Amino acid sequence: MLGKVKNVTGQAKQVRMQNPIKSVGLKLFLIIFLSIVFFVLVVGLLGYNTSKNIIKDKVADSSLETIKQANGKLDLMLNTYSQTSLQFMLDPDLNLLYTAILNNEGDEYTQLTTQRTLTEAFNTYLFQDSNIISLQLYLQSGKVLTTGGSLPSFDEIQEVPWYKTTMEANGKVVWLPTTIEGYSNTRPAFALARKIVNPVSSMEVGIILIELKTEAIANQLTGLAENGNHIYMIDANHNLTYADEASNITLPSKLTIPEETKVNFYESTGQYDEDALIAHDKSSITGWHLVGTYPIDSLVEDANEILKQTFIIALLAALVAVAIGFIVARMIGRPLVQLRNLMKEGEQGNLQVRTNIRSKDEIGQLGQSFNEMMERITVLVKQTNHSAQEVLINAEELLNSSKRTALSAKEISVATEEIASGASTLALEAERGNDLTNHIGGQMNQVVEANLQMGNSASEVRRVSEQGIEYMSQLISKTSSTEKMTRSMVEKVDKLKESTNSIRKILDVLSNMTKQTNILSLNATIEAARAGAAGKGFMVVADEIRKLADQSRQSIGIVGQITETIQQEIDETVDVLSEAYPLFQEQIASVKEADLIFKNVQSNMGGFIDQLDGVTESIQQLEQSQVTLSEAMSSVSAVSQQSSATSEEVASLSTEQLNVSQGLVQLAEKLEALSNDLKKSLSSFTV
C-alpha cells in the first residue's frame, strides 16, 4: 500500500503544467510586481508634479513682481518725458517765441532769429537726454520746426491719424507706438505728442512731438531677457512696440492679454512654439502692457531630476519585485501544482494517491485535508458499491409490482370512461331540456308583459272615456245654455223690431209736424209781407221758424234712414238666429249620443280589464310552474354534469394512475440500468 502511494507521488512530481499563464504562482508574481512598481511610479510622479507646480507658482510670483518693478521704472522714465512735453507748453519764454512766430512779428530777419532761438532751446533738451532722437513742432500757422530728420509737409501731417488724435486729446499726452523708420525717417523709434495751448491767452500753438529711441526701454529692462526668457511691450493695437529681439518690433503680438482680470499671469500653450508662463502688467502712463514669457521647460529643469530618480527607483523596485514574486510563486505554486496533479490522478479513478506535503502553513493543511478527503471518498465508494447491489435487487422487485399495477389501472380506466360517456349523454339531454324550459319561460314573460301593456292601455282608454264623459256633460250643459241664450236673443230682437216700428211711427208724426210748421211759416211770411213795414219783424221770425222746420225735416230723414238700417239688420239677425236654432238642436242631440257612446266604452273597458286581470293571473301561475320545471331541469343537468365530471375525474385519475404505473415500470427499468451502470463505474475505482 505504501509502495503504491510513493509511486503515485513520484509520477505526480513528473507532471508539468500545460499552461503556465493560468498558474496561481504566475498570478501572484504579477500582482506583487505590478503593485510595487505602480506604487513607486505613483509616488514619484506625484512628487514630480507637486514640485513642478510649486516651482511654477514661485517663478510666476517672482516673475510678476519683476515685471511690475520694471514697468514701474518705465513709468518713471516715460513720466519724465511727459513732464518735459508739459514744460514746452508752460515755459513763458517759449510761449513768447510761439506767439512771435504765429503772429509774424518783425521783419524776416527778426522772424528767422526767433525761429533759431526756439530751435536752440529744443537742441538744449536734445543734448541733455541721449534717448531723444528729435523734437518736432507743428505750428497752427503751417510752419514745422525740427531738430533733425526729414519731415513731411504740414498738409501731409494733418492727414496722419496720430495728429488728429492728438488734436482731439485737448492737451493730454498721446503715446505713439514704435515704427520701423521712426517719426523723422531716421531709425526705429516711438514718440509722445501733446497739443500746446498758451496758458495765458488760451491760443492754440500747435503740436509738440518728442521722438524717443527704443533703447530707452531696453535700458530699463536690462537683465530680464535671459535664460530663454523674453520681454515684450504691447501697445493698444496689440502690436509689439518693444521686443528683446529687434526683428519682432512692430509685428502683431501672438500673445493674448486678458482684459479686466485680477490675475496678471497665466500659462500659455504653444503661442511661441513652446509652453511658457506669461506675466504682464499694464502701464499707468502709456496704457501699454509689459509682458514677460518664461519657458516652463527651463523652469522645471530641476524637477526633471526628480522624474529621473523616480524611474531609477522604479527599475530597482521592479527587480526587487521580480525576486520577491519568484520566491512567493515557488513557495505557493509548486505545492499547488503537486496537489493539482494528484487530483488529476484521483479524477482518473485512482483513489490510493496521497500527498507528502508536511508543512504547517495553509498549503500543508490543504495537503492533509486532501489526504483525508481521499480516505473518505474511498470509504464512500465502497459503501456505494454495496448500496448499488441492493438497489439492483429492489429495482427488479419494483419492476414486477409496477407491471401488475399498470394492468389493473388500465382496466379501471376503461370502465370509468364508459360511465363518463353515459353521464355526459344524460347531462347533454338535461341541458337541452333546460334550454327548452328557459325558452318557454322567456315566451311566457313576453306574454305577461304584453298582457300588462294591454291592461295599461285598457286602463288608459277607460280613464280617457271617463274624462270624455265628463267633457260631454260639460258640453251638453254649455250647449243648453247657448240654446237658452239664443232663444232669449230672438225674443229681444223681436222686441227691438217692435221698438223700431214705434220709432218709425214717431218719425212719421214728426215729419208731418215739420211739414205743417213749414206751411205755417210760409203763411206767416205772406201775412208779414202784406203788413208791410209793420210785419218785417214777424217776417224774420217766420223765416227762422221755416229754417228750423227744414232742419227738423232733414234730421228726421236721417234718423229714419238709420232706423231703416237697424230694421234691416234686425231682420237679418232674426233670419240668422232662426237658421242657427235647428243646428243647436242637432248639436245637442249629437253631444248626447257621444256621451252615450263614451259611457258604453267605459262599461266595456271595465269588463275587458277584468278579463285581462284573469288572464294575467293564469299566466303568472303558469310561469311559476315553468320556473319549478326549469329548476328541476337545472338540478338534473347539474347532477348529470357533476356525475360526468366525477366520472371524467375518476377516468383521469385512472389514466394518471396508468401513466404513473407505466412511469414506475420505466423508472424501475431505468433504476435497474443505472444500478448496472453504477456498478460498472465503481468497478473503475482502485480502492
Q: Which is more confidently placed, 362 or 563?
A: 563
Nearest one of 292, 147, 145, 134 to 213, comparing CA atoms: 134
Q: Is the pLDDT of residue 55 over 80?
A: no
Query: Which pLDDT value is given to residue 644?
Result: 66
Residue 189 resides in a domain: yes
In this structure, are 132 and 278 located in the same domain?
yes
Instruction: Find residue 201's DSSP bridge partners.
Output: none
- The fraction of the chain above a pLDDT of 90, given in percent, is 2
The position carrying cell 208724426 is: 509
The three-state secondary structure class of 114 is helix
Residue 137 resides in a domain: yes
The answer to whether residues 255 and 268 touch, using CB atoms and an 8 Å cutoff, is: yes
Type and span of the H or E element at 276:
strand 276-282
Strands 132-139 and 144-146: antiparallel
Residue 309 corresponds to which cell in the numbers above?
530618480
Q: Is the pLDDT of residue 15 over 50?
A: no
The three-state secondary structure class of 134 is strand
The position carrying cell 223765416 is: 543
- Dihedral of alpha carbons 633, 634, 639, 645, sign: positive
Of 209-213, 341-345, 372-376, 657-661, the poorest mean pLDDT is in 657-661
In this structure, what CATH number is given to the domain that contains residue 490?
1.10.287.950
Those residues whose C-beta lies under 8 Å from the C-beta of residue 368, and which sit 6 or more positions away, are 357
Compute the distance between CA of residue 373 and CA of residue 238 in angstroms, rounded to an integer: 87
Domain boundary among 242, 274, 303: 303
Residue 334 corresponds to which cell in the numbers above?
509548486
The answer to whether residues 253 and 232 touch, using CB atoms and an 8 Å cutoff, is: yes
Range picked from 352-356, 430-434, 522-526 for highest mean pLDDT: 522-526
In this structure, are 270 and 392 located in the same domain?
no
Query: Which pLDDT value is given to residue 575?
Result: 75
Residue 515 corresponds to which cell in the numbers above?
211739414
CA 417-421-425 angle, to 5 degrees, is 170
In this structure, are 287 and 387 located in the same domain?
no
Strands 289-295 and 240-243: unpaired
Compute the distance between CA of residue 675 and CA of residue 663 in angstroms, rounded to an integer: 18
Query: Which pLDDT value is given to residue 509?
Result: 80
Query: Which pLDDT value is given to residue 521?
Result: 77
Q: How many CA atoms lie within 13 A of 509 on its CB side?
A: 6
In this structure, are 167 and 268 located in the same domain?
yes
Q: Is the pLDDT of residue 234 over 60?
A: yes
Q: 187 φ, ψ to 5°? A: -165, 165
Over the chain, what is the mean pLDDT?
Answer: 76
Compute the distance between CA of residue 619 and CA of residue 438 in angstroms, rounded to an integer: 15
Q: Which is more confidently placed, 301 or 628?
A: 628
Of 8-12, 204-208, 342-346, 370-374, the poorest mean pLDDT is in 8-12
pLDDT mean over 394-399: 70
Domain boundary among 252, 275, 303: 303
* Cα 248 from chain centroid (whole Å): 57
Instruction: Find residue 175's DSSP bridge partners.
Output: 192
Range picked from 20-24, 595-599, 628-632 for highest mean pLDDT: 595-599
Those residues whose C-beta lies under 8 Å from the C-beta of residue 549, and which sit 6 or more positions away, are 514, 515, 517, 518, 521
Query: Which pLDDT value is given to residue 79?
Result: 93
Those residues whose C-beta lies under 8 Å from the C-beta of residue 238, and which sit 6 or more positions away, are 252, 253, 257
Q: What is the pLDDT of residues 454-488, one digit of tens each?
A: 777 777 777 777 777 777 777 777 777 777 777 77
Query: Which pLDDT value is given to residue 20?
Result: 56
Residue 194 corresponds to which cell in the numbers above?
501733446
The answer to whether residues 193 and 207 touch, using CB atoms and an 8 Å cutoff, is: yes
Q: Is the pLDDT of residue 558 over 60?
A: yes
Q: Which domain holds residue 633?
A: 377-681
Residue 58 resides in a domain: yes
CA 116-121-123 angle, to 5 degrees, is 90
Residue 15 resides in a domain: no
Residue 174 resides in a domain: yes
Compute the distance between CA of residue 554 and CA of residue 514 in angstroms, rounded to an integer: 10
CA 61-67-70 angle, to 5 degrees, is 140
Q: Which is more confidently placed, 223 or 238?
A: 238
Residue 632 resides in a domain: yes
DSSP per-residue letters across 432-456: HHHHHHHHHHHHHHHHHHHHHHHHH
Query: Which pLDDT value is given to residue 17?
Result: 47
Compute the distance between CA of residue 589 and CA of residue 584 in angstroms, rounded to an integer: 9
Alpha-carbon distances, residue 75 vs 61, 69, 82, 189, 586 (angstroms)? 21, 10, 10, 17, 141
The answer to whether residues 100 and 106 touch, using CB atoms and an 8 Å cutoff, is: yes
Query: Which pLDDT value is given to residue 11?
Result: 42
Number of domains in the chain: 2
Q: What is the pTM of this model?
A: 0.44
The three-state secondary structure class of 157 is helix
Residue 228 resides in a domain: yes
Query: Which pLDDT value is given to residue 173?
Result: 93
Q: What is the pLDDT of residues 144-192, one digit of tens each?
A: 888 766 677 777 888 888 888 988 888 899 999 988 888 877 788 999 9
Domain boundary among 275, 303, 331: 303
Q: 621 φ, ψ to 5°? A: -60, -40
* Cα 10 from chain centroid (whole Å): 76
In this structure, what CATH number is given to the domain that contains residue 92?
3.30.450.20
Q: Is the pLDDT of residue 10 over 50?
A: no
In this structure, are 228 and 120 located in the same domain?
yes
Alpha-carbon distances, residue 195 vs 114, 285, 286 (angstroms)? 21, 17, 16
Burial (CB count <10 Å: 0-12, 13-18, 19+), residue 71: buried
Compute the distance between CA of residue 29 and CA of residue 323 in angstroms, rounded to an integer: 9
Compute the distance between CA of residue 521 and CA of residue 548 in angstroms, rounded to an integer: 10
pLDDT mean over 579-606: 73
Range picked from 71-80, 242-251, 518-527 for highest mean pLDDT: 71-80
Residue 64: Cβ within 10 Å count: 19
Q: Is the pLDDT of residue 548 over 70?
A: yes
Go through the chain and tell me how many residues it has. Answer: 687
Q: Is the pLDDT of residue 547 over 50?
A: yes
Compute the distance between CA of residue 667 and CA of residue 402 in angstroms, rounded to an integer: 9
Residue 318 resides in a domain: no
Compute the distance between CA of residue 112 and CA of residue 118 in angstroms, rounded to an integer: 10
Query: Which pLDDT value is given to residue 1?
Result: 39
* Cα 277 from chain centroid (whole Å): 47
Classify 202 in phi/psi space as left (phi over 0), alpha (psi -120 to 50) or beta: left
